[in-house]
Structure 1
């Protein structure tokens, strides 16, 4: 591993770069949506199919790469994922049709999933206890910068080159650098700690699927994440096409969304010292619902205003992030063993549902995409509430009885 070079700092930076790869693959690419639509002679919502295919590839990869790395080791799976990502990134700018780009983006997502999933598994191999917790926190803080930096990089590339293909050249270089680092890394999972085989991994998936509490929380997390990520994919069209902002203005407002997520994470840490996760979740769901409902009514029936939309999306991101944090924690607390598989299931459903929500966004018309997006977020939040609130009520009763 990089620690073979006796430099832990470089090792952790490399792990963070692997972890940030999916964010760069999505957010660096967003500012180029208008140019891609013009290049393939399609409307801009159609380009969002490339986000859908990426999400689906990433979701599938989450399920398979983690299990395979437990069986065959971290290094070979990391290398395969990096190679697949680089090849797909090379193919993206060579696409002659939107469908070819959609397929290449699926390969990107599939490769990215290996890089992001195995990178975290490597941390678990190398650290434990408080050291692991501190390291994961530092990696998470570093990763939070990616949604802020990525659209700025994409906008800079487009401003200089005026060609969307150069964004994928940048992503290819990113992937090649990570591929080189993956070659320098040594294996971190000892033979004695590896899984027995594919059947053992499959049994763990079956085991968790029978845990009704875990699955209920998992589906609620998936709906919340789908609501969050549907805005991420549609934001470029709404800001640049509907509200006629420049790419730099879009990058600024998208970066604001990243800052809101960081702020929400810090607020969640403070709230858990004041109240329990159940109460926090209820309040966050309530405020998120009221915010989205009011925003929908104003933007639909009163005025389609940029400031109102920005405020609504900031508040939505804030409350949905808190919901995702608390429900995600309760989801994993309902599991007693095989945490890696449980995390894989949770992340798979979250990304898969985000892909489906993103596909629905591609069907929206320009004139209604802003309000339709908010309405879809409302519906997803209602579904999450119907799934999770009865379970939270039972949790309250059990706590009171004890």
Structure 2
């Protein structure tokens, strides 16, 4: 990797990086208030309409395993631009879908395209930063990115009321076009031709096998996937939770935005604390908060006829998303520290692994939505406890070596 002298990133650079990694968040969060309209239009149930989110995540998984290796071959910007084009085509296709199956296919393409900027921008950041400096830059980018979940549902609800659910997809396509244009004009390529690799599928498979044979990397990937699954399960059921459990429909975007601020607070805390106490201690604190939050909501739902009091729900889910933000900002960085020369490729497949786990787990946990919170609460607590088991495995594992010998396999 080529690392420039460590210097404080400019606001413009951080904003550009946030814009180019926001396509997934925009295409999910803006759509949430619209899911009932989509379900009604295509005559599917509320639970079935969660596939609009999970199919996007499946597309992201497919894109990550393709765009990641190719970004080391062709550079960062070509993959960012080609991914953005795929995303725009998918968004326009969604707006013109004639059937529910066609909409899901378009969402897969949209997710596939979103993976290009997501993976390549992260690789771009690794070109420039490493270690705790990389974690701090990630946290700052994520803090800017948090404008999306706070504002997107409100914007999405307004767009739907004016021009229908189709208008949301067209708006997202326009946003992607403008962001990509700005990025292309303002950001230079960070991977010089002499640093690029030659693509070799067999060495790729060998390297991926070596990466996930590392116990800590494997367990941290599982942990990241479980944390992602918690977030996806909430995203897929949030609108129904607020409407059917608490009678909140019109003001749903505002409560959703309030809970999203917990992630922003977490990113800020992570950026301030990671240099002082380290990522492991931060993750330990976050997992503790996660388990307390999910256990409290489940216990109070049992004592309250199946659904936790609204105030308890808000407080506990604020804690849940605070812990999510801490973990999301640090777990992948911790895994990368053990990858050595395979950091670039490894981070791609860690992200792809988390996406695949999220897609598979959410396919089950999303179906736990019921007339009351109990089944969902068990799902959230179960995923939290599994995350704890993975984290304890990381602590106890003796695999402390870096995969420095993989470089020859990648570049041969």
- Aligned with residue 204 of structure 1, among 203, 207, 214: 207
User: Equivalent residue for 2:391?
Assistant: 388
User: Equivalent residue for 1:63?
Assistant: 65
- Aligned with residue 141 of structure 2, among 121, 139, 142: 139
Three-state SS of the structure 1 residue aligned to 2:219 is helix
Distance 1:280 1:128 in 2: 20
Distance 1:170 1:278, change over 3 A: closer
User: Equivalent residue for 2:166?
Assistant: 165
Question: Gapped runs of 5+ residues in structure 2?
Answer: 1-9, 399-412
Deviations 1:26-82 (A, max 9, x none): 101111011111111111111101111101111221121021121123333223211
Question: Gapped runs of 5+ residues in structure 1?
Answer: 1-7, 396-402
Distance 1:156 1:198, change over 3 A: farther
Distance 1:202 1:228, change over 3 A: same
The two structures have a TM-score, normalised by structure 1, of: 0.85
Deviations 1:233-286 (A, max 9, x none): 221221134322133x21111111221012123334555577565454444333
User: Equivalent residue for 1:312?
Assistant: 316
User: Equivalent residue for 2:49?
Assistant: 47
Distance 2:135 2:378 in 1: 38
CA contact (8 A) 2:135 2:274 kept: no
Distance 1:291 1:380 in 2: 12
- Aligned with residue 343 of structure 2, among 323, 339, 342: 339
Q: CA deviation at 1:171?
A: 0.9
Q: CA deviation at 1:112?
A: 0.3
Deviations 1:278-300 (A, max 9, x none): 45444433332233122112213
User: In the TM superposition, what are the counterparts of 1:2-401 in structure 2 within 5 Å?
Assistant: 13-125=15-127, 127=128, 138-161=140-163, 163-181=164-182, 184=185, 187-199=189-201, 200-247=203-250, 249-269=251-271, 272=274, 275=277, 277-303=279-305, 304=307, 305-368=309-372, 370-393=373-396
CA contact (8 A) 1:21 1:112 kept: yes
CA contact (8 A) 1:49 1:362 kept: no
Distance 2:393 2:136 in 1: 34
Distance 2:325 2:376 in 1: 17
CA contact (8 A) 1:46 1:362 kept: no
Give the number of aligned pairs. 385
Distance 1:297 1:341, change over 3 A: same
Distance 1:326 1:79, change over 3 A: closer
Q: CA deviation at 1:14?
A: 3.6
Distance 1:55 1:14 in 2: 23
Distance 1:182 1:294, change over 3 A: closer
User: Equivalent residue for 1:399?
Assistant: none
Distance 1:337 1:314, change over 3 A: same
CA contact (8 A) 1:83 1:179 kept: no
Distance 2:89 2:32 in 1: 20
CA contact (8 A) 1:82 1:178 kept: no
CA contact (8 A) 2:140 2:267 kept: no
Distance 2:380 2:135 in 1: 33
CA contact (8 A) 2:57 2:108 kept: yes
Three-state SS of the structure 1 residue aligned to 2:47 is helix
CA RMSD, 1 decimal:
2.8
Three-state SS of the structure 1 residue aligned to 2:114 is helix
Distance 1:352 1:134 in 2: 26
Distance 1:353 1:89 in 2: 24
Distance 1:31 1:122, change over 3 A: same
Distance 1:317 1:9 in 2: 25
Distance 2:190 2:276 in 1: 40
Distance 1:95 1:374, change over 3 A: same
